Amino acid sequence: MSEEDRAASHRRLCRHIAAAVVQCMADTDMSFAEIAERIGSTAGAVKRKIDRLIAGRSISFRDVSDFATAMGASVRIRLVPREPEPPPATNTAPPATPSQPEPPQPPRSPQ
């Protein structure tokens, strides 16, 4: 695994955590200020930590646990096998053929 792949995986993980925290905030109708009050912090500090996750950067497990506890939630982690990557697309269409003009139609007889 390349360093670029590892960094991309880390950013995705951080963003998944951010999405889970923000979704829980919406589900519990809690604001940054309410979470901050419950964990003895400030709304600005809570927002900065969530913004950091959204940007794909880490925060501590303790911070994530504090946010969850403040919202009456728990953190669950599952590791699941990734779906195999699809093979690169290949052009399976038949080769293009030049369009053939319609054959001439015999003249219609008057009726």
Q: Which band of pLDDT confidence, cut at 50, 70 and 90, is reported for residue 89?
A: confident
Identify the pLDDT of residue 36: 98
Cα–Cα distance measured from residue 1 to residue 15, given in angstroms and rounded to the nearest whole number: 20
Per domain, the residue ranges of the chain are: 3-70
Q: pLDDT-derived band of residue 67, with 50, 70 and 90 as boundaries?
A: very high
- The whole-angstrom separation of Cα 35 and Cα 100 is 71
3-70: which CATH topology? 434 Repressor (Amino-terminal Domain) (1.10.260)
Residue 34, Cα to own-chain centre: how many angstroms? 27
- Higher-confidence position of 99 and 90: 90
| Separation between Cα atoms, residue 81 and residue 61, nearest integer Å | 23
Question: Who wins on pLDDT, 65 or 86?
Answer: 65
Condensed to tens digits (0 to 9), the pLDDT of residues 26-42 reads: 999 999 999 999 999 99
What pTM does this model have? 0.70
Nearest to 61 by CA among 14, 27, 23: 14
Confidence of residue 85 (pLDDT cuts 50, 70, 90): confident
Q: Encode pLDDT of 15-27 as tens digits.
A: 999 999 999 999 9
